[in-house]
Structure formats: structure tokens, C-alpha cells
Amino acid sequence: MDFFLQQLTNGLAVGGIYALIALGYTMVYGVLKLINFAHGDLFTIGAFLGLSLLTSLGLTHHMGSFGVVVSLIVMVMCLVALVGVILDRLAYKPLRTSHRLSAVVSALGASIFFQNGIMLVYGAKLLVYPHDILPKMNVNILGLHIPLIRILILLASLLMMICLYVYINKTRIGTAIRAAAIDQGAARLMGINVDRVIMIVFMIGPALGGAAGLMVGLYYGQINFTMGWIYGLKAFTAAILGGIGNIPGAMVGGLLLGVIEALGAAYLSIAWKDAIAFCVLIVILIVRPTGILGERVAEKI
């Protein structure tokens, strides 16, 4: 039972990270119907920027460990949001009206660009996060010893998701985002500035992805320039699992995927860990092609 709960909390922490990345995929997909293949690399950029800021600014001398982490997250989110907006301007905006596959190739090109850019700047080897930022201690919850960082990551990702949910559902801009996701043309006719909506989506998505990158760095302690691919792939799977284009769906899908993977790795086989996620995906798509929370939309004829 103890083992099970440990794996469950571990799965939830990783799932929170997946969910944050998946939100970026699903929001961009919702508005643009584009799979942003460069999103995984924005996540990697977040991880590397976090490390650079941490080592260069010397924040640890000025404030406590929590202050450091919070200010790091804010800085990384702002920077990666900026990268996201620039990416959209240069690589996707000129392709708004062309075939969807052209934009996919552009996204793949951008992904290659980012990956190699990171490699050129930081080198091809594994980088290690300093491991004294957060105190290494276990929190005792109902007799279960859970590492503090695991709880913090889960809480941070949940907090971000709640903020996003409120933002999307309660504010004017959030309403505009939802409207643009349903029907861009009609939203334009209703006086919504769709270009601005797209820009905002390309700020929020990458910002969340960047924060996830930083969390992975803090959680696992090591990062490399290719890690965006596999995390991106898993997060995209999570987005589909919940129903792509659906914001709560991405959250549920991410957490679910994290838990399934952690339990699968623990009880079935660790060697098949990555395959488990994809098997679940295939089964879901065969049984329920629109994902768990996606509603069935009539195909346009």
C-alpha cells in the first residue's frame, strides 16, 4: 500500500508537469488547428533558461529557497512567453491561410532550429541542476513520507491550472479565446481581435511549458537538449487523451497519463514505460476517438 501511494503521488507530480505542457498544445490547437511541434523545445528552453538564471543571478544569496523558486518561475515564464510570441510571428503567422501540413513542416523546422540552438549555446552534454535549492526533506502525510519537492510541484501545477481555468472562463479575454477556438470567422465578425487572441495563446502556452521545464529540472536534477521530444510527445498524447482543444481535458489527460505511466512502470515493467502511454492512447482513440472530455463534433461537409 505504501509503495502504491508513493507511485501514485509520483505519477501525480509527473502528471502535473505533463498537464502544463499539454495545455500549450491544446490551446494552440484549439485556436489554430495546428500541432505546435516546437512546443516541446520551448519546454526545454524553459529548463535551460531556469538553470542559467539560477547560476548567474546568484539569487540564493538574497532570499530564501521559496523566494528563489517563485522568482525563477516568473522570470522563466516571461522569457519563454516572449520566445513563443516571436516563434508565432516568424514561423506560423505567414502560414495562417495555407494548407495545415505546411504549418506542420514549419513547426518541425522550428523544432530542429531550437533544439540545435540550445545545443550550440549549452553544449550537447547533460547539465545538472544545483540540488540545494529546495530543502531535501520528506513531508509526513497520514504516515506516508512524501518528498517535499513532489508536493510542491503538484501544488504549483494545480495552482497554475486553476488560474488558467478561471482566466479562460471568467475574463473577457478568456471568453474571446474560447470564441476564437469555436469559430474563428464568427469571432472576427463579433469584433474579437483574433490576432491578439492568438498572440495571447502563444504567450500562455509557452509560459506554462517553460514553467514545466523548470519543474523537471528541479525534480529530476538533470536536463539535456533533446528532452523536449519525449516530453512533448507524452504531453501531446495527454492532450489527445483528454480531448484535444479542450482545456480541462488537457489537465485531466496529463494527470491521468502521469499516474498510468507511474503505476504501469511500477507494476508491469519499467522497460515498457513509454510504450504503456501509447498503448493507452491507441485504446482510447479506438474506443472513444474524441478523448475523455472531448465532445463529438459533427464533421463539416
Partner 1 sequence: MIRMWKTKRHFLYALWAVLLLASPAVLNPYWVDVLNLVGLYAILALSLNIILGHAGLFHMGHAAFYAVGAYTTAILNKQFGIPVLWLMPLSGLTAGLTALVVARPIIHLRGDYLLIVTIGFVEIIRIALINNVFGITGGANGIFGIDRPMIFGYKIRKPQEFFYLIWAFAALTVFFFHRLEQSRFGRALNFLREDDVAAEGSGIHTAHYKLIAFVIGAFWAGMVGTVYAAKMTIIAPESFNFWESVIMFMIVLLGGRGSIPGTILGAFLVIGLPEIFREFASARMLVFGAVMVIMMIFRTEGILPALPRSYPIGRLPDTGSDR
Given the rule CB under 8 A, which residues bind partner 1? 29, 35, 90-91, 94-95, 98-106, 108-117, 119-120, 229, 233, 236-237, 240, 244, 269, 271-272, 274-275, 277-279, 281-282, 285-286, 289, 299, 301
Least separation, in Å, of the C-beta of 120 and partner 1?
6
Least separation, in Å, of the C-beta of 233 and partner 1?
7
Q: Which is nearer to partner 1, 33 or 136 (CB)?
A: 33
Q: Which is nearer to partner 1, 162 or 285 (CB)?
A: 285
Least separation, in Å, of the C-beta of 245 and partner 1?
10
Q: Which is nearer to partner 1, 147 or 291 (CB)?
A: 291
The secondary structure of 166-235, three-state, reads HHHHHCHHHHHHHHHHHCHHHHHHCCCCHHHHHHHHHHHHHHHHHHHHHHHHHHHCEECCCHHHHHHHHH
The letter for the amino acid at 253 is G
CA 82 – CA 51 distance, rounded (Å): 18
Least separation, in Å, of the C-beta of 168 and partner 1?
22
Report H helices in the chain: 2-32, 39-57, 65-87, 100-122, 148-170, 172-182, 184-189, 194-220, 227-242, 247-267, 273-287
Q: Which is nearer to partner 1, 174 or 243 (CB)?
A: 243
Q: Which is nearer to partner 1, 2 or 299 (CB)?
A: 299
CA 76 – CA 82 distance, rounded (Å): 10
Q: Which is nearer to partner 1, 110 or 194 (CB)?
A: 110
Least separation, in Å, of the C-beta of 99 and partner 1?
6
What is residue 296's DSSP assignment? P
Distances, alpha carbon 113 to alpha carbons 87, 240, 263, 271, in Å: 11, 26, 35, 31
Q: Is the dihedral of CA 116, 122, 127, 130 positive or negative?
A: negative
Least separation, in Å, of the C-beta of 270 and partner 1?
10
